[in-house]
Structure 1
């Protein structure tokens, strides 16, 4: 990757490693639907005025079908499912489960005829990631409820396919416009369910309120702008490899700030997914140019 690509990659790895901690804190005192609604309202309040001022709303709405699909896959479904899952799962475990997103993205791209080749080195990196996740689940599976894990699986499917929609059908739409409209749509969807529970926010503690604000400002508004820039810089599959690094941030934050246990599964699985990240981000070698004699053949 280029220097700009690595800068965006590292920034997103940190920024989207933090939400698992913030969601865990928030759902202790507010319901999952309130967490998603607050996150979307704050993010939309920051990005929508920017989009309106630049006249980008109407051009973006011309792609409304792809925009709706992206919104459902990236926000409306996954964010509620993540909040639900973290009611019972630890933030570090949730982060590691989401590390399987690049595998779904690679499979989806392959099925849809993408041009990005899966070289042996990249496949080896993804294989190490799979082994790391298997070690995690195999060593830490005791006492884990099935439904929250299935919820995270659905999150992985959404996160793995949404960037493909963005890169193929929304490439001509500014990322800020896509993010602003997607956040607004998701907020409207959950408003009827969240507004009757708005009292939960008023009664929440300072840490819970701070978590909601940080989710909306840093992990939503800022993060989505950077994520679209990363997709355009390195492509959707390589951009999603941030989910290999996010767990490291999630684990450290969960252990140090929430007192979550650093289990054997984390100790074995985390290094494997990080090594897998390095290998899976290797850039493909350029295809060999055709021989001169071939170019002359009519």
Structure 2
């Protein structure tokens, strides 16, 4: 999570447009994951059926478009703001499950989600902001929400792959990204040596090493621990945005971050709201 929290700085320092940045993320990521899977003996994967490949490819389209919109948000708002708003994506997963998969949702979950979406409004700066919100800033927030929704769809699709190794799924997604973005990426523009270093870092560190570490750690951790550790990501992004780019987090944005964090933990851990508990206890038996 600490590694992934630096992706905004890497994307900013690379200095390329979002589409080209994501193309090279996919290229370097696919190279690393391909070597990793071959070394681990996960390739060739004979369990890959046409159906699984189709689901992985569709998820790859969603994931690549999510990355592109996410990186665009960095330039239009700030690293901290984009990262905080992006963390609304677990709630999109819940909503998709309720609307399309007929999954059940409790009143407590609805209330936690409402609080988290209120946190997004605060974090976006639309309510409390020292300066007027520009159209570029609003577009950046919209793209970030779109990125979160696309990530949620990719997450739902990944569930349909069963026991397929996550590294294989991510490898499929990065290969899809190379094919999808190649016609639109600016591959003619000269890239400086330092930019190549940042691009390779996004692919190898953030798409390869960080994903392998997470997938290796998740089976060894409980849900509460995973839920808490998830917020190392935005905290690192906030610190970097403040320390390097002089973008301190405002009080309203900090409050929004807290609401999103509480809402996420409340839904994931099944917390019952104290007000609801009090009202239930006061009912006559």
TM-score bracket, shorter-length normalisation: 0.7 to 0.9
Tell me whether 1:72 sits opposite 2:64 in the alignment.
no
Partner of 2:206, secondary structure, is helix
Contact 2:59–2:157 (CA<8 Å) still a contact in 1? yes
Q: What is the count of residue pairs matched by the alignment?
A: 263
| 1:193-224 alpha-carbon deviations (Å, 9 max, x no partner) | 3363351x2x26x3x44432221122111233
Aligned to 2:153: 161
Question: Which of 150, 153, 156 is equivalent to 2:142?
Answer: 150
Aligned to 2:23: 37
Partner of 2:48, secondary structure, is helix
Contact 2:80–2:237 (CA<8 Å) still a contact in 1? yes
Aligned to 2:6: 18
For structure 1, the 5+ residue unaligned runs are 1-11, 286-298
TM-score computed with the length of structure 1 as normaliser = 0.75
Contact 1:73–1:159 (CA<8 Å) still a contact in 2? yes
Aligned to 1:197: 188
Deviation at 1:19, TM superposition (A): 1.6
Question: Which of 43, 63, 69 is equivalent to 1:55?
Answer: 43
| 1:212-242 alpha-carbon deviations (Å, 9 max, x no partner) | 2221122111233345557778899x97887
Aligned to 1:271: 258
Deviation at 1:180, TM superposition (A): 1.1
Deviation at 1:160, TM superposition (A): 1.3
For structure 2, the 5+ residue unaligned runs are 273-285
Contact 2:57–2:172 (CA<8 Å) still a contact in 1? no
Aligned to 2:167: 176
1:197-216 map, 5 Å: 197-199=188-190, 201=191, 203=192, 206=194, 208-216=195-203
Distance 1:231 1:164, change over 3 A: farther
Distance across 2 between alignment mates of 1:22 and 1:94: 14
Distance across 2 between alignment mates of 1:164 and 1:54: 23
Question: Which of 91, 102, 115 is equivalent to 2:90?
Answer: 102
Aligned to 2:80: 92
Distance across 1 between alignment mates of 2:202 and 2:71: 12
| 1:157-177 alpha-carbon deviations (Å, 9 max, x no partner) | 11112111111x211321111
Partner of 1:214, secondary structure, is helix
Aligned to 1:128: 115
| 1:219-267 alpha-carbon deviations (Å, 9 max, x no partner) | 111233345557778899x978876653322212211122113223323
Deviation at 1:30, TM superposition (A): 1.5
Contact 1:101–1:240 (CA<8 Å) still a contact in 2? no
Partner of 2:183, secondary structure, is helix
Question: Which of 179, 193, 208 is equivalent to 1:221?
Answer: 208
| 1:89-123 alpha-carbon deviations (Å, 9 max, x no partner) | 211111111121111111111223366x5445544
Partner of 1:212, secondary structure, is helix
Contact 2:90–2:264 (CA<8 Å) still a contact in 1? no
Distance 1:276 1:283, change over 3 A: closer
Contact 1:17–1:248 (CA<8 Å) still a contact in 2? yes
Distance across 2 between alignment mates of 1:170 and 1:162: 11
Contact 1:136–1:266 (CA<8 Å) still a contact in 2? yes
TM-score computed with the length of structure 2 as normaliser = 0.78
